[in-house]
Amino acid sequence: MPASTDDRPSPLALTRRARRADRLLAERYPDAGCELDFTTPFELLVATVLSAQTTDVRVNQVTPALFARYPDAAALAGADRAELEELVRPTGFFRAKTQSLLGLAQALVERHGGDVPPRMEELVRLPGVGRKTANVVLGNAFGVPGLPVDTHVGRVARRLGLTAEDDPVAVEHELGALLPRSAWVMASHRLIVHGRRTCHARRPACGACPLAALCPSYGLGETDPQAAARLVKDGPPPR
């Protein structure tokens, strides 16, 4: 289990652990990066909203037709609700997501002339946009350092003893203090892919983990190297 707040290492030791973990994950997952397909900040924002409670692969199957029909905020703001619902239906929770997309597009048109603002404080005021979504857009569309924390990032960070927090914003701040700003975006991608492929929620592949030597939670999952290797999931299919 992750270390308690009473026996956590010093801030210096945690910083060293976090940065070594990031280096090791970079070696293990050189393909890590944003797995949502996009060509503009608007497309990434919409795709990120759609990615809630579904896979990036599923979103990428939906967005080509969606963006062909509604290529910008103005077009999406005027979308027919029933038509939009059918387009996003495969991503699940399609009625709620349709409502979020319509509100988001209308707010972009009314407040920002249809453009996606490149600032956290303005992004999080948009309907359906929280810090995680804002950080995804800032880091991947605008090159602004951000550290999106999803369930994978939070789980892996806690297992590594880098945080004891459950709240994503608190995890974001604690991890951000351990890593240089220039590393935030890619560190998030690497933690996500590690959580998806190796450090699974129910049965982590400890025996096949590149972080085994520095992880205080080693042994939580399968430690036999061969058995653990069978638990490791492949990466996304080629595009």
Residue 119 sits in a domain whose CATH number is: 1.10.340.30
pLDDT value at residue 8: 73
Tell me the residue type at 223.
T
The reply to whether 16 and 51 lie within a common domain is no
Distance of CA 32 to the CA centre of its chain: 11
pLDDT value at residue 237: 44
Range of the domain at 77: 41-141
The reply to whether 129 and 52 lie within a common domain is yes
Active site residue 150: yes
Query: Buried (b) or exposed (e) across 165-174, using 16+ Cβ within 10 A?
Result: beebeebbeb
CA-wise closest residue to 176 among 120, 123, 124, 135: 135
The two structure tokens encoding residue 19:
């940065």
End-to-end CA gap in the chain: 37
Which residue blocks in 113-239 are alpha helix, DSSP H?
A: 120-123, 131-141, 151-159, 168-178, 184-197, 225-231
pLDDT value at residue 234: 82
Active site residue 132: yes
Instruction: Please list the pLDDT of the chain residue by residue as tens digits (239 residues).
Output: 544 445 778 999 999 999 999 999 999 999 999 999 999 999 999 999 999 999 999 999 999 999 999 999 999 999 999 999 999 999 999 999 999 999 999 999 999 999 999 999 999 999 999 999 999 999 999 999 999 999 999 999 999 999 999 999 999 999 999 999 999 999 999 999 999 999 999 999 999 999 999 999 999 999 999 999 999 998 654 33
Residue 215 sits in a domain whose CATH number is: 1.10.1670.10
Torsion of CA 182, 27, 31, 179, to 10 degrees: -20
The reply to whether 102 and 180 lie within a common domain is no
pLDDT value at residue 236: 53
Does residue 158 sit within a domain?
yes
Residue 176 burial (CB < 10 Å; 0-12/13-18/19+)?
A: middle
State the catalytic residue, choosing from 72, 150, 167, 233.
Answer: 150
pTM above 0.85, yes or no: yes
Helix and strand numbers, DSSP H then E, in the chain: 12, 0
The reply to whether 96 and 132 lie within a common domain is yes
Separation CA 195–CA 82 (nearest Å): 36
State the catalytic residue, choosing from 31, 37, 132, 167.
Answer: 132
Q: Where are the beta strands (DSSP E) in the chain?
A: none
Does residue 4 sit within a domain?
no
Does residue 239 sit within a domain?
no
Report how many domains make up the chain: 2
CA-wise closest residue to 117 among 142, 87, 148, 150: 142
